[in-house]
Structure 1
Amino acid sequence: MSATAPSAPVADLSFAKRTTLTIAASQAIVGAAAPVAISMGGLAGHYLLGADKTLSTLPVTGFNIGVALGALPAAMLMRAVGRRNGFVSGAMVTALGGAIAALGLFETSFWLFATGLLVIGLGGAFVQQYRFAAADASPKIFKPKAISWVLGGGVFAAIIGPQAVIHTKNLFAPVEFAGAFVAVIGLGLLGALILSTLKIADHVEPVAADAPPAAPERSLGAIVGQPRFLVAFICGVTSYALMSFLMTGAPLAMVGCGYSAEQATLGISWHVMAMFAPSFVTGNLIARFGKETIVAAGLLILIVCGLVALSGIALWQFWLALILLGVGWNFGFIGATAMLTDTYTPAEKNKVQGVHDFALFGTVAFASLMSGATLNWFGETAEAGWVALNWILLPVASVCLVLLAGFVLRDRRLAARRG
């Protein structure tokens, strides 16, 4: 070997970084469709509906259902045609969803619009696989950072998506919001172009010549039955569902409390930036303090978010609560995802990741639907509905925190017995 040739682990790390940066760029572009769908879905649904606004957040629910329904097919497609081709296909689906949603607005059809958001969600299922692809293409030491870098691309999505809304939503006036979903078509097509350059391998951990044969692939039940899997799954799903629950209702609550659609959109922009900006350091924090500690911090921040939201309805209180909601989601979800990757082997990843995301986004879809229903059922005013949302958040996050603490204590006791 030449004296200047890189060793295999160094080459693997260099490849992993290049791959992760490409995926992060795709997260920034294709991922920008999500804040468009979330910030505009409820408002556009409210605009399209008649007197009964109970289903106003159904389009956002459709988006989340699309992510859930697309999880397993996305995993199966990428297993059949490779991640690059699968990701390109997913970006094209996002563009198609933008076209259907825009058509629904032009036709003043609530159900066609909701279908468009469901299709955007199907494309979003592929976006949710980005973090796993980056982790699987990385050496073990780089996996938490790879996840964080990809989700860090969401910082730019948080800027691109809401800015696209602000500058295009009235492009086809008097048809409200249609321009924002025409912009989604462009985001999907540009993302497909970036993803077409992707060169990706699955695992890059060097394998010694005398390494023992790989363990047989376990059943899904055996994997799911692990205490670590269950705790990681519950904390990750809860962090995401609570985030969706509040985020979906926030624009409607803000407009109902007298703020403009632009102020509500900017609130979602701050929220999405808070979701992804910590990702630049979350990997380092996990390496220093441990995955469980970061998940616990995320759950505590979600509790503080609920307390801030309950303290009043000034604009800064809405925005601060949304920022805390984003940071809490980041720590809780990235930490739980990192915990989850410890529970399965590379050969088991496709079925585990697909089932995980199906269950995750099925729960998130239910949470987004219940957000609109809660606003309508439990509050005679927008303020009362917003208060109801946050009183639901507090006990749910607290129960997960207690569950996580019990798992950590159990692990320490077992380690002490073995040691």
Structure 2
Amino acid sequence: MHTEVLSEQQQRKLYKRTLWIIITSQIFGGAGLAAGVTVGALLAKDMMESDAIAGLPTALFTLGSALAAFSIGAISHKRGRRIGLATGFFIGTIGALGVIYAAAIDSIVLLFSSLFLYGAGTATNLQARYAGTDLATPTTRGKAISLAMVFTTIGAVTGPNLVAPTGRMADSIGLPTLTGPFILAAVAYGLAGVIIFFLLKPDPLLVARTIETKTQVTTESTEKRPLIYLGAIVMIVTQVIMVAIMTMTPIHMTHHGHSLSAVGLVIGMHIGAMYLPSLVTGALVDKFGRSVMIIASSVTLFLSGVIGTFSPADSLLSITIALTLLGVGWNFGLISGTALIIDGTTLKTRAKVQGTTDVSIAVFGASAGLLSGVFMSMSSFGTLAFVGGVIGFILLPVLYWATNKTRS
């Protein structure tokens, strides 16, 4: 079925085409994921009238993304990236629509269940980065991950900064103001799903497997477990730190008099920092190695925590710098960790391992989102930021262990 792509020239052509399809879908996917990050906690706070559960929305859509990550990985393993990714985006669309309806009828139960489904879009947006690497060579994997992620920046930065205008649009049609970003999310996820379903043909993962079989490539015949474990731990730790601090930032800012537009600006800068560095991060990962970028992630996360700890609560500039560094540290960790997962797996098991890894990332992220509200209500945002920065240093001994295991 895929014999037409076996020549090197045709493989390169398909690789480039696949990247452009993933890039286009990521633009819309980025806009979709920004809604829950920006106003999810505020919406729950308004409906529940409690700060302690403000982290619950993030926990719910992160748990939803965990289930979705497992499902997308399993579907992709059996039927390819196209069906797996399209299914995830469409479920995310249903979740966003559910959030809108839940807020309109003031139903907490429907809100929470819809946020769970909405998480499928987040998981799909992240898993799309793997599709860009299926036809990449070992020396261009970091760059492939970057190209698949970087265009998420357009949607991810635009989304939070559309909080005010989408809110006014929601008001004009009789919906609660904070549902505006979820209207954007429903449209964005739906478009991303349509693009993947109709354009991602032939499927890059299925093609890569066919190429491997027909050319009898055996260079990646065995899994390298230390690399897989290291990649997973790096992504889990960076996700925990990022989710915990990011989730409480809107609450912290509104408590100290910052406007909704200011919250949107800070979260937009943060999400931009999560994805925009991908322009160079992938090339750095390929050139200097995974280990160097893991160290860079650890240091950047620590600096973010320190600045967040000592920033005056009314300083928009300080909180913006802290959240920007948080995004950059997460980016370094995600791309280097993703590259390690790909390095350590074979095409036969890759989709399944990737799905399982993203489940772990999502579960730990959900726990961080849920506990962050409780933690901050018992202490402060500054303490939360400092603890997050310190946790970033866990990456260094793990890196040392994995390096020694790989050499032995």
State the partner residue of 1:301.
300
Contact 1:29–1:160 under 8 Å retained in 2: no
Q: Which amino acid aligns with 2:323?
A: L
Determine whether 1:31 maps to 2:30.
yes
Could you report, residue by residue, the CA deviation over 1:257-285 in whole angstroms, capped at 9, with x for unpaired residues? Answer: 21111101110000011111110111211
State TM-score, norm by structure 1. Answer: 0.88
Q: CA deviation at 1:406?
A: 4.5
Determine whether 1:157 maps to 2:155.
yes
Q: CA deviation at 1:208?
A: 9.3
Which of 122, 130, 136 does residue 132 from structure 1 map onto? 130
Q: CA deviation at 1:215?
A: 8.1
| Percent identity of paired positions between Structure 1 and Structure 2 | 26
State the partner residue of 2:289.
290
Contact 1:279–1:330 under 8 Å retained in 2: yes
1:258–1:237 distance in 2 versus 1, CA, 3 Å = same
Determine whether 1:370 maps to 2:365.
no
User: What secondary structure is seen at the aligned counterpart in 2 of 1:345?
Assistant: coil
1:18-417 equivalence runs, <5 A: 18-50=17-49, 52-173=50-171, 175-195=176-196, 196-199=198-201, 200-202=203-205, 204=208, 211=216, 226-313=225-312, 314-378=315-379, 385-408=380-403, 414=408
Give the number of the structure whose residues are more often helix, by fraction: 2
Which of 1 and 2 has greater Rg?
A: 1
Contact 1:33–1:120 under 8 Å retained in 2: no
Q: Which amino acid aligns with 1:110?
A: I
1:209–1:291 distance in 2 versus 1, CA, 3 Å = same
**Structure with greater contact order relative to length (CA < 8 Å, sep ≥ 6):** 2
1:63–1:208 distance in 2 versus 1, CA, 3 Å = closer
User: What secondary structure is seen at the aligned counterpart in 2 of 1:53?
Assistant: coil
Aligned alpha-carbon RMSD (Å): 2.4
Could you report, residue by residue, the CA deviation over 1:188-235 in whole angstroms, capped at 9, with x for unpaired residues? Answer: 22212322211232254865978477987x7xxxx58x2222222111
State TM-score, norm by structure 2. Answer: 0.90
Q: CA deviation at 1:365?
A: 0.5
1:350–1:407 distance in 2 versus 1, CA, 3 Å = closer
Q: Which amino acid aligns with 1:388?
A: T
Contact 2:238–2:333 under 8 Å retained in 1: yes
Contact 1:139–1:204 under 8 Å retained in 2: no
Could you report, residue by residue, the CA deviation over 1:110-136 in whole angstroms, capped at 9, with x for unpaired residues? Answer: 332222221110233222221111111
Q: CA deviation at 1:375?
A: 1.6
Q: Which amino acid aligns with 2:195?
A: I
1:171–1:286 distance in 2 versus 1, CA, 3 Å = same
Contact 1:16–1:139 under 8 Å retained in 2: no
Contact 2:33–2:185 under 8 Å retained in 1: no
User: What secondary structure is seen at the aligned counterpart in 1 of 2:132?
Assistant: helix
1:386–1:17 distance in 2 versus 1, CA, 3 Å = same
Give the Cα–Cα distance (whole angstroms) in 2 for the partners of residues 204 and 143 of structure 1.
Answer: 14
Give the Cα–Cα distance (whole angstroms) in 2 for the partners of residues 112 and 208 of structure 1.
Answer: 47
User: What secondary structure is seen at the aligned counterpart in 1 of 2:349?
Assistant: helix
1:410–1:212 distance in 2 versus 1, CA, 3 Å = closer
Q: Which amino acid aligns with 1:106?
A: A
Aligned pair count reads 396
Give the Cα–Cα distance (whole angstroms) in 1 for the partners of residues 55 and 260 of structure 2.
Answer: 15
Give the Cα–Cα distance (whole angstroms) in 1 for the partners of residues 260 and 161 of structure 2.
Answer: 13
Where do 5+ consecutive residues of structure 2 fail to align? none
Could you report, residue by residue, the CA deviation over 1:385-411 in whole angstroms, capped at 9, with x for unpaired residues? Answer: 211211211321112223224444665
Q: Which amino acid aligns with 1:190?
A: L
Give the Cα–Cα distance (whole angstroms) in 2 for the partners of residues 389 and 212 of structure 1.
Answer: 48
Give the Cα–Cα distance (whole angstroms) in 1 for the partners of residues 377 and 74 of structure 2.
Answer: 39
